[in-house]
Structure 1
């Protein structure tokens, strides 16, 4: 992460710290969700391997009950995971939007003369929503992916180091794919948001200046212009969808290749008696659990790139300062006396409009 990215993400630090209790409980819930979820394949392994012995119906019922309990507990913690992390992201969205609006009230007229109202509206709505998705679902799925990988891989190595190494051969390709597509998504999403701002600004200007539009009989011209802007917006969205649409099929392809290799070589090991059937089933279960986190990682990268692009756009407004601002510690006093204006000049941007007043 470069210095520019860190400075942008630093904007979220006070909001994250404000709800640190929710984040802590959320991460605990994520860990417990994954722990009980990863317990199921191991219990299934024990149940299948016990079939070779003189297992009774009671023993099988105990294994089934243990799997059911682990599933229920995992689901309960999954609920708490969403009720903490997603709720925290909603609270951050609420606070961030309020602070953004408060900052807008401090800016003076010259700023609003240069910045279209529709552009500000777009940043205050869709861009803040993109930041919320990065902070909420993004962090939640990223933490779940990291914990799943950290816990599933040692269990897979315990079952079969050879099959684990074999199944991981496609991971470098997936990593490179994620990095490449992540950069492309950020570039194209920024262009999409810019065009969305243009559309919003055009609509707002037409609504506020509808009398002028009608007075000069420009209705059809404005309709055509709005239609052209929307076509550009659609093309930019389609451009990103073409890139984004490649990701999940590619993940499924490489995941399928890994699964085929595991089934082929693992099946041979079961046939030769060097691996038990229960271990084989558990290994495939863990592998399938890893395929979704890898696909989810791509989705999370997309959320991060979109959120970062939106945060950059929001920072442009948050960094703006009024031309005339009170000094720190300025005191408000009642003015007594007369005001005399002499030799007054007024300029709009760089053009001098009035002078010698």
Structure 2
């Protein structure tokens, strides 16, 4: 139960429903316990009046009248039992309307808490954990927890109230018979303790294996192009089947425990019935109880059958929920490495950027991406960052939007340490077009509008599509801006996805624009149109262009050449050409290719 303590806050939030549900359960069981007592009275009445009925053997009319009165009395008892059953069912219905509905509401709240926490976690968390595992914890694990929140709580309350009411009723009749009837219960408690530990251990491994299956399926479906192009379908099927067999075997082993456990409990309850009839018969002969009391006790024993049997089922649910909640808690207790100093901050940025001897090492791999990077960019200036693959270009973009925090030095925005700037405001004021373009499985219009912090009109969306030089491409698609792009934008070409991503970044009217190699899949003419818009509309915006090539259509105030995480060259285009270094080689090679 230690892991399940986290859920107590949700029980407190819905304490009204929970308390009402417990009250309804107690009322339902109260009317249920009254039924055997009515049946006892009816049976004792029949036995008692049977001899009187025989006395009227020679009096036909009187005997018939007496029989009519007895029949009417028995019908009254039958109607009373039916009324009690209806009342029991009514309050049981109310119980489900309170406790089960409460569990669904908590399930909703729990998923919201997990999803919100996922969104707040930093990028290094997602590099350490795969998507399938994240999905499994917010779906399968939450489902397991809901079974504890609803059915387990309801049946546990039902178990406690039923046992209390039934045992009290039994003790009021015969403490001796009650003692003999309840003899098998200690053996049952020992069995539950042993089996619960087994269930808990096996449930943990089962949930971990299910998470692995989800991860495998998610990776194969996301990379289906690669799987098909390398003809690895059969290999992936075999791998998935192997892991599925492992999950099946684990589940079968858990089912075997339950298969032995439940018949054992039914056997013990049956033993209680036999003891009740035998000892009860001796008590009747001794004159301590009536024959109706034996019938009453047999019904009580059968009333205890489901609650006692449910002990194992409840234990199984609680153990599985504890295993699932433990997996959920592992992520909920994970704190983001990126702290937001001012969540409510909303202000424009001038766009002045300063790197002061910045160093950065990736926490998950230990790779030193940047070493002593130092530069200053005034508001409104444009800077190009050039370098070979792995030189640290993308890392600079990630640090500017605080996907990571520097491990050495500091970054200043408008003269203020970036770690003191409101995180949401910082990212809202920076328009980043990442190298790895991601589009949502939605319409083109919604993918572009996603970047705005307001609800843009169709005209505004179309205008920024023109700025990104993708408007004509969209018009050629059957549904135009209402066309679905598929998962990760699979229906669009690489260049189209890049340009939609550019439109999405520009529609937010950023103060700082960062393009991370986002024109690599664009042809020369389209590139010229996009850069023409940059020269015109972004003239007063601070812009950072990360690229492998030189854009002759853009006038850069500063160009940085990165090599092995450090600055190898820095200056204007003319200064770097005169240096005759790596930048000069790139320019010569590009000019030769264009010729």
Specify the TM-score bucket, using the shorter chain as the normaliser. Answer: over 0.9
Q: Distance in 1 between matches of 2:131 and 2:202?
A: 23
Q: Aligned-residue CA RMSD in angstroms?
A: 1.7
Structure 1 residue 48 corresponds to structure 2 residue 30: no
Q: Distance in 2 between matches of 1:183 and 1:46?
A: 45
Q: 1:181 aligns with which of 195, 199, 206?
A: 195
Deviations 1:198-231 (A, max 9, x none): 0000110111111222233322211111010000
Q: Is the 8 A contact 1:23 1:84 kept in 2?
A: yes
Q: Is the 8 A contact 1:178 1:298 kept in 2?
A: yes
Alpha-carbon shift at residue 56 of structure 1 (Å): 2.1
SS for the counterpart of 2:355 is coil
In structure 2, the residue matched to 1:261 is 275
Alpha-carbon shift at residue 10 of structure 1 (Å): 2.9
In structure 2, the residue matched to 1:352 is 368
Q: Distance in 2 between matches of 1:72 and 1:330?
A: 56
Give matches, 1:64-213, under 5 Å.
64-213=78-227
In structure 1, the residue matched to 2:440 is none
Deviations 1:77-110 (A, max 9, x none): 1111111100010011011111211111111221
- Which protein shows a greater Rg? 2
Structure 1 residue 28 corresponds to structure 2 residue 23: yes
Q: Distance in 2 between matches of 1:216 and 1:342?
A: 46
Alpha-carbon shift at residue 248 of structure 1 (Å): 0.7
Structure 1 residue 316 corresponds to structure 2 residue 327: no
Q: Is the 8 A contact 1:343 1:356 kept in 2?
A: no
SS for the counterpart of 2:184 is helix
In structure 2, the residue matched to 1:283 is 297
Q: Distance in 2 between matches of 1:352 and 1:218?
A: 35
In structure 1, the residue matched to 2:6 is 11
Q: Distance in 2 between matches of 1:10 and 1:186?
A: 16
Indicate the structure with greater helix content.
1
Q: Distance in 1 between matches of 2:273 and 2:8?
A: 41
Alpha-carbon shift at residue 168 of structure 1 (Å): 1.5
The alignment of Structure 1 onto Structure 2 pairs a total of residues equal to 352
Structure 1 residue 325 corresponds to structure 2 residue 339: yes
Q: Distance in 1 between matches of 2:131 and 2:260?
A: 36
Runs of 5+ unmatched residues, structure 2 = 53-68, 370-391, 393-564, 568-595
Q: Is the 8 A contact 2:4 2:322 kept in 1?
A: yes
Runs of 5+ unmatched residues, structure 1 = none
Q: Is the 8 A contact 1:342 1:356 kept in 2?
A: no
Report the more deviating stretch, 335-344 or 8-17. 335-344
Alpha-carbon shift at residue 332 of structure 1 (Å): 4.5
Q: Distance in 1 between matches of 2:347 and 2:275?
A: 80
Query: Could you state the TM-score of these two structures normalised by the residue count of structure 1?
Result: 0.94
Q: Distance in 1 between matches of 2:86 and 2:348?
A: 68
Alpha-carbon shift at residue 9 of structure 1 (Å): 2.5
Query: Could you state the TM-score of these two structures normalised by the residue count of structure 2?
Result: 0.57
Q: Is the 8 A contact 1:26 1:80 kept in 2?
A: yes
Q: Distance in 2 between matches of 1:337 and 1:236?
A: 57
In structure 1, the residue matched to 2:233 is 219
In structure 2, the residue matched to 1:228 is 242
Indicate the structure with greater strand content.
2
Q: Distance in 1 between matches of 2:219 and 2:357?
A: 36
Alpha-carbon shift at residue 152 of structure 1 (Å): 0.7
User: Residues 225 and 286 from structure 1, CA distance in 2 versus in 1: closer, same or farther, beyond 3 angstroms?
Assistant: same
Q: Is the 8 A contact 1:159 1:283 kept in 2?
A: no
In structure 2, the residue matched to 1:38 is 33
SS for the counterpart of 1:341 is strand
Higher relative contact order (CA 8 A, sep 6+): 1
